[in-house]
Structure 1
Amino acid sequence: MALCLPALLSAGPPARAQSASPPAREVVLPIENVRFEYAQVLAVRPVQQVLRTTSTERVCSDPSRPEVLVPENVLNARRNAAEAAGRPPPANLRHCRMAPVVREYQRPIAYDVDYVYRGNKFRTRMGRDPGNRLRIRISIMPAPLE
């Protein structure tokens, strides 16, 4: 069987098929040369996400100030009871109402990092603050021939 294998390989395809296709070229894949070094960080700026929450909370007015926002016809039970009994309403009575309260929170979702390596400035976005130096990956590979 070993004798038949070279005979099959040397026979090749028919002559008509050889003339129609270009000759096969050997493909060589270059090896990537990689090393790691450190770059100096110039600036780090957090990228903020703004979160807004709305909740309904009890908001009470100061009894020393007249409440402008509450309509005249809205009175609470203590005031009605005091007026019905013929007594003046208590001085420390506070007007309370339920009101929507909007709060904003900011949280960092990423960091824009400016750094310099061998005199060239670069910018990248990272998930965490790298500190004063940044480990970078240096990859050297020949450009493909055109």
Structure 2
Amino acid sequence: MRRLLLPALLLAASAAPALAQETVIPRQNIRTGYAQVLRVEPVFQTLTATRMEQQCNGKVVPPNDPPRGLSRIVGAVKDALTPSADGESVEEAAPAPADCELVPVQREFRRPIAYDVDYVYKGMKYRSRLPYDPGNRLRVRVSVTPFVPDSGR
């Protein structure tokens, strides 16, 4: 009997400090509500891209991009049914004009990366920067904590 009682007492003694150290986390005073959006202003990022384009006689010639999707299939069938006399496709046989050169053309692109949002909640106006456009209503998190003044200061 003693052999069974001693391990049980050791187990109970080692578990007692663990039970005493358990911390209780109080539930926070947090809830959600909805605010009325007054204004949304997008914040843009400007990107610059350079592309080489063919320029002939001082005019930029649009690039001859390869066709995609269904037009690619139709073009392949058309080329297979109507080959030129020497077996090359019609597009490859056309010579390029002699007075053409490749020139760099810069283009700017603007894309929204954030939104500055002005909104009203319970009569108070606020402003936040969000990663999305919230629309007419904005869901807000409301947290209430008591004010505890510094003692002795």
TM-score, length-scaled by structure 2: 0.53
Moved more, 98-107 or 29-38: 29-38
**CA distance in 2 between partners of 1:98 and 1:144 (Å):** 71
Q: 1:103 and 2:107 equivalent?
A: yes
Contact preservation (8 Å) 1:31, 1:141: no
Q: 1:43-54 counterparts in 2 under 5 A?
A: 43-54=39-50
Q: What is the aligned residue count?
A: 93
**CA distance in 1 between partners of 2:58 and 2:143 (Å):** 68
Change (3 A) 1:35 1:96: same
**CA distance in 2 between partners of 1:34 and 1:45 (Å):** 29
**CA distance in 1 between partners of 2:58 and 2:128 (Å):** 52
Tell me how far 1:120 sits from its aligned partner: 1.1
Q: 1:131-142 counterparts in 2 under 5 A?
A: 131-142=135-146
Query: Percent of pairs identical after alignment?
Result: 51
Matching residue's letter, 1:40: Q
Partner of 2:28: 32
Matching residue's letter, 2:116: D
**CA distance in 2 between partners of 1:145 and 1:133 (Å):** 35
**CA distance in 2 between partners of 1:56 and 1:39 (Å):** 49
Q: Aligned with 1:47: secondary structure?
A: strand
Matching residue's letter, 2:56: C
Tell me how far 1:62 sits from its aligned partner: 6.5
Q: Alpha-carbon deviations, 1:56-111, whole Å to 9, x = none? A: 11012369xxxxxxxxxxxxxxxxxxxxxxxxxxxxx7842211100100111011
Matching residue's letter, 1:45: E
Could you list the structure 1 runs, at least 4 aligned residues long, displaced by more than 4 angstroms after superposition: none
TM-score, length-scaled by structure 1: 0.55
Q: Which runs of 5+ in 1 are unaligned?
A: 2-28, 64-92
Q: Which runs of 5+ in 2 are unaligned?
A: 1-8, 10-24, 60-96
Aligned counterpart in structure 2 of residue 113 of structure 1, from 95, 117, 129: 117
C-alpha root-mean-square deviation of aligned residues, in Å?
A: 2.7
Moved more, 29-38 or 44-53: 29-38
